[in-house]
């Protein structure tokens, strides 16, 4: 009896699995070309969904695959999104800015709102897919219709890449990650205006001429392993996707500590 009921169960499970896979037989849409800083400013089509709390900033309102924290606070202020492969670009897309808008359903205002890429999503549902925070998704709605729009769940949108503009007084910020030591430095770079995304990070010890290149670690984190201990203060240089360079002199002080945030002056 036991064996016959378990084989019935197995059969039922395999039928269910077949049904589920054909229900999921929605064709996988291949990702579109990478959205780099040089693609222009053409509006393109995308799908949008949302996650986390209805008025929140994403997963536990606290970052995601880019490694940012406090994404519910200024300057991201919860206007955050996961990008699919050509938008997240293995972490390269972290910090890039997009305008998004929708016209259907009726709850859509049609007005563009600006979102920051802070996380990754890989569902193959569209060439371009923005999985938005509940707050960002609702922001595409007419006033008072935010919840109606969120109820739609998945909405066709248009998007374009734009320059990032942070509120006046926002400084490029370097978070020296936990576990950093004189022989291992990991820095998370955030709030870079303009292109927003960073493609190279170098550091220089005070009084030296030589820049030392960091490697991409994950998300917005860059790392350096060095046999020769690094001595602060360190100047950090970052290069954006479009080739703009910025330098923050002596931003990491001599007595730097891991798990600490340093702002450019």
Ligand X SMILES: *[C@@H]1O[C@H](CO)[C@@H](O)[C@H](O)[C@H]1NC(C)=O
Task: For residue 196, give the nearest of 118, 68, 63, 94 by alpha carbon.
Answer: 94
Site residues (CB under 6 A) for ligand X, limited to 20-49: 34
Q: Among positive and negative, which fits the CA dihedral 111, 49, 241, 69?
A: positive
**Residue 217 touches ligand X, criterion: CB under 6 A:** no
**Residue 90 touches ligand X, criterion: CB under 6 A:** yes
Transcribe 83-145 into DSSP letters. E-HHHHGGGTTTT-EEEEE---STTB----EEEEEEEE----SSSSEEEEEHHHHHTTBPTT-
**CA–CA distances in Å: residue 74 to residues 52, 68, 199:** 19, 12, 24
State in angstroms the smallest separation of the CB of 5 from ligand X: 50
Q: Identify which of residues 90 and 254 has a Cβ nearer to ligand X in the complex.
A: 90
Q: How many residues of this chain bind ligand X (CB under 6 A)?
A: 4
Task: For residue 187, give the nearest of 173, 206, 204, 207 by alpha carbon.
Answer: 173
Query: Which of 47, 89, 129, 150 is close enough to bind ligand X by CB under 6 A?
Result: 89
**Residue 204 touches ligand X, criterion: CB under 6 A:** no
State in angstroms the smallest separation of the CB of 86 from ligand X: 6
Q: Identify which of residues 80 and 96 has a Cβ nearer to ligand X in the complex.
A: 96
Site residues (CB under 6 A) for ligand X, limited to 91-120: 92
**CA–CA distances in Å: residue 20 to residues 15, 23, 230, 249:** 9, 5, 55, 56
Q: Identify which of residues 92 and 116 has a Cβ nearer to ligand X in the complex.
A: 92
- The interface region with ligand X, picked from 56-64, 87-95, 146-154, 156-164 by CB under 6 A, is 87-95
State in angstroms the smallest separation of the CB of 93 from ligand X: 8
Three-class DSSP category at 184: strand
- The interface region with ligand X, picked from 15-23, 59-67, 86-94, 168-176 by CB under 6 A, is 86-94
Q: Determine if residue 29 is left, alpha or beta; phi over 0 gives left, psi from -120 to 50 gives alpha, anything else beta.
A: beta
State in angstroms the smallest separation of the CB of 78 from ligand X: 26
Q: Identify which of residues 192 and 230 has a Cβ nearer to ligand X in the complex.
A: 192
State in angstroms the smallest separation of the CB of 114 from ligand X: 22
**CA–CA distances in Å: residue 66 to residues 105, 166, 198, 219, 228:** 31, 18, 12, 4, 29
Q: Which residues bind ligand X (CB under 6 A)?
A: 34, 89-90, 92
């Amino acid at each position: 009896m036991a064996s016959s009921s378990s084989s019935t169960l197995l059969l039922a499970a395999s039928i269910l699995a077949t049904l589920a896979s054909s229900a999921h037989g929605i064709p996988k849409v291949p990702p579109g070309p990478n959205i780099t800083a040089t693609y222009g400013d053409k509006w393109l089509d995308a799908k949008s969904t949302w996650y986390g709390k209805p008025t929140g900033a994403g997963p536990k309102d606290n970052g995601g695959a880019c490694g940012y924290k406090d994404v519910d606070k200024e300057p991201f202020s919860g206007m955050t999104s996961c990008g699919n492969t050509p938008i997240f670009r293995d972490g390269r897309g972290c910090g890039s800015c997009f305008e998004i808008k929708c016209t259907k359903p009726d709850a859509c205002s049609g007005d563009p709102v600006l979102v920051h890429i802070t996380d990754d999503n890989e569902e193959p549902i569209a060439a371009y897919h923005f999985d938005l925070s509940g707050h960002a998704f609702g922001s595409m709605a007419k006033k008072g219709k935010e919840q109606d729009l969120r109820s739609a769940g998945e909405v066709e949108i248009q998007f374009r890449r734009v320059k990032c503009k942070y509120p006046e007084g926002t400084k490029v910020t370097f978070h020296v990650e936990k576990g950093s030591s004189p022989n291992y430095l990991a820095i998370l770079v955030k709030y870079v205006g303009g292109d927003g995304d960073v493609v190279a990070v170098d550091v220089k010890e005070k009084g030296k001429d030589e820049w030392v290149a960091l490697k991409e670690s994950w998300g917005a984190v860059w790392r350096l392993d060095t046999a020769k201990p690094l001595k602060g203060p360190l100047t950090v240089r970052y290069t954006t996707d479009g080739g703009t360079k910025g330098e923050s002199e002596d931003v990491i002080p001599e007595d730097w500590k891991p798990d600490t945030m340093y702002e450019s002056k």
